[in-house]
Structure 1
């Protein structure tokens, strides 16, 4: 093991003209120091893990906690100037077992592979409606606003039982929460607005049960109003922001690799494999954080109790030790072991839904518009480097009308 380098901030600068690639510094660190000291914005000195094997080890090790109140935030602007509070009841993504296990058990049956694939017909219908609207509008359009955002947004609204008319309101508040530039006051106001909205919705479902996920949980009596409201907000936010950005960025990646796009269009059986490769290749979740509950030896370094460990999802998914030629988009690649959805007990609950939405959405998009292409030079596409979830703010596209 080479000498330990001095603590440095999380690498965030992406190479100009390479919108699909993670920051170059991550590759250097992964090769030389797959676990290296990291300086956090609040002054904490913890660790950054970039090697695939070490990332999976951290995410699967119960000695590393996901509790929010123990976490030091690695991204500038992501916090509110202080350590995060303890997770409120129901916000299971920021808890450890056994609290996390209880909530996860209640929800796992709602997101099975079978049930998510059973939604395929409805997802296909929603997708077709938006493609028809795009065709009626004519080129150019913003693919984010016209296609990538509304499809997962409508699906998660229907699944949870959230009025579709409220999607725009929720989306605006969630965008503020995910912004690295919004003031703490604006973020606090957005969080309060989401809590109040979900609280009102839960009380309405208690009074008049509905045949949807939140309605079923409300009728079960297993959860308090506060728990159910926080679960609803968590699932709603996770259910469309991540998938929307994967659809938009995935479409751009395919347009930028016409030979891969041609292979996908020629082979209907390639859809699932292509989705996994896009998830690996693009890795829109830049980091996740764990905190050591005790001293842990990791990759030849001693992580002390209380130190936060930031794991780089893009670096792990581009590790040549696990994925040969990792910087190449290869739709026939064996992608087993990618960590785009995390790993361990906190692996993404809605991953099967995201897979179906991506597979259906991307195939239908390019079947309807085989000549789809950017309507602006690539350098003019606004990237979400100012957000917790990477992607594009807008994606102007055009095609040759029939």
Structure 2
């Protein structure tokens, strides 16, 4: 059967199966050849892994390295101005997603204590309050409004700024540079300019934290004294970027998906107890962090194929999370599905550090939005919603919505007046 499916030249990225499903070329490939050769734009012959079991195996096997300084990681799409790589990239201090054990273990161990389930549960009430305050602001606006700008982006940005000790007043600068950094096919010098602006800002910030620590995660890391300023800056970059971009896109794209599936939205409104399962299902169904890369450090057998040493391996979490071998009727959004076990937070040693925080933010965000805005609907046809197909984290650039008569929380209003 494998011979009936052509080897792709470049990663298929056209969202031709609608705004929520994998590209149809990737779906066909997964169903016929879940571990497939892939010819990269620079001529490299690597691999594309799309089946659930094979993706999980890649993520769990540290012979598939995350390091970019031991082998060349090839990019599966065209990047303007990017030269063909001829040697590995130098390591970036503190950038723990590009490390393998034991270096990865050393840095991650210091961060794990900051993101324990217990600590996140202690934050639950505060996160709900942040979401409700933002919904108060939203309710004061005259629709139509952009749900990304007015709700989906501010909530996780406020939370991660408080946790890390980043002044929220600086958000416009770091949000702009984060967005610029995540554009897929922009010229390399523009990407590096955004990266440079972010790291310069964060280096200054962690230097101040070392001199005058506060009650926040970056101060805790600075107090340790085990990490250099460069390592602290790398950690801060990852935590700030991942801490607001991913959840912001899940809140916006999740709202879009629910509005496009009114029967599921009605079920969720009728039974709020479904929310934890609905959040897991939205995570699986949307998989906003879709494409990850690994480097084969030796010849490795995977899904009946031999991945040669030195190969770049591209994995699609979206395709894996839509694999019918793992999930029944996977292209259907079902808020009653028990979707735990999905790969949206990755798997193995690099599984997302902030996943409990993301879950709390999504539960609080969706619970408040559905309760306070029972008549919420799109203000434009679905086809006019601008998709982030140009970005490394998927979502929508904007989500114009409208409503009539939002529900006012009288008790909250009274407390605010007092």
Superposed displacement of residue 26, structure 1: 1.2
Distance in 1 of aligned mates of 2:77 and 2:225: 38
2:9 touches 2:41 (CA, 8 Å); kept in 1?
A: no
Task: Specify the SS of the correspondent of 2:278.
Answer: helix
2:81 touches 2:187 (CA, 8 Å); kept in 1?
A: no
1:198 touches 1:229 (CA, 8 Å); kept in 2?
A: yes
Choose from 83, 87, 96 the match for 1:81: 83
Match of 2:49 in 1: 49
Alignment of 1:167-206 (within 5 A): 167-206=171-210
Match of 1:308 in 2: 312
Distance in 2 of aligned mates of 1:323 and 1:258: 22
Superposed displacement of residue 311, structure 1: 0.8
Alignment of 1:144-155 (within 5 A): 144-155=148-159
Task: Specify the SS of the correspondent of 2:2.
Answer: coil
TM-score, normalised on structure 1? 0.97
Q: Deviations over 1:318-360 (max 9, x none)?
A: 0000100001111111213211011110111111110100010
Stretches of structure 2 that go unaligned for 5 or more consecutive residues are 407-418
Superposed displacement of residue 78, structure 1: 8.7
Distance in 2 of aligned mates of 1:41 and 1:156: 37
1:128 touches 1:364 (CA, 8 Å); kept in 2?
A: yes
More off after superposition, 352-361 vs 332-341: 332-341
Q: Deviations over 1:184-243 (max 9, x none)?
A: 111111111111101110111111111100011111212111111111111000001011
Choose from 375, 390, 401 the match for 1:397: 401
C-alpha distance 101-82 of structure 1, shift in aligned 2 (>3 A): farther
Q: Would you say 1:279 and 2:288 are equivalent positions?
A: no
Superposed displacement of residue 268, structure 1: 2.4
Match of 2:240 in 1: 236
Q: Deviation above 6 Å: which 4+ runs of structure 1?
A: none
Match of 1:23 in 2: 23
Alignment of 1:320-359 (within 5 A): 320-359=324-363
Match of 1:250 in 2: 254
C-alpha distance 111-234 of structure 1, shift in aligned 2 (>3 A): same
More off after superposition, 259-268 vs 270-279: 259-268
Match of 1:298 in 2: 302
Alignment of 1:65-104 (within 5 A): 65-69=65-69, 70=71, 71-77=73-79, 80-83=82-85, 85-104=89-108
Stretches of structure 1 that go unaligned for 5 or more consecutive residues are none
Superposed displacement of residue 109, structure 1: 1.1
1:78 touches 1:180 (CA, 8 Å); kept in 2?
A: no
Superposed displacement of residue 286, structure 1: 2.0
C-alpha distance 82-196 of structure 1, shift in aligned 2 (>3 A): farther
Match of 2:15 in 1: 14
Task: Specify the SS of the correspondent of 1:137.
Answer: coil
Distance in 2 of aligned mates of 1:114 and 1:104: 18
Task: Specify the SS of the correspondent of 1:277.
Answer: helix
Task: Specify the SS of the correspondent of 1:311.
Answer: strand
Distance in 2 of aligned mates of 1:28 and 1:105: 40
C-alpha distance 305-79 of structure 1, shift in aligned 2 (>3 A): farther
2:80 touches 2:187 (CA, 8 Å); kept in 1?
A: no
Distance in 2 of aligned mates of 1:79 and 1:217: 37
Superposed displacement of residue 299, structure 1: 1.1
Superposed displacement of residue 175, structure 1: 0.8
What do you get for the CA RMSD once the two structures are aligned?
1.5
* Equivalent residue pairs, number: 401
Superposed displacement of residue 87, structure 1: 2.8
Superposed displacement of residue 182, structure 1: 2.3
Q: Deviations over 1:35-86 (max 9, x none)?
A: 1110122221100011100010111011110112332122333994354623
Task: Specify the SS of the correspondent of 1:271.
Answer: helix
Task: Specify the SS of the correspondent of 2:341.
Answer: coil
1:9 touches 1:41 (CA, 8 Å); kept in 2?
A: yes
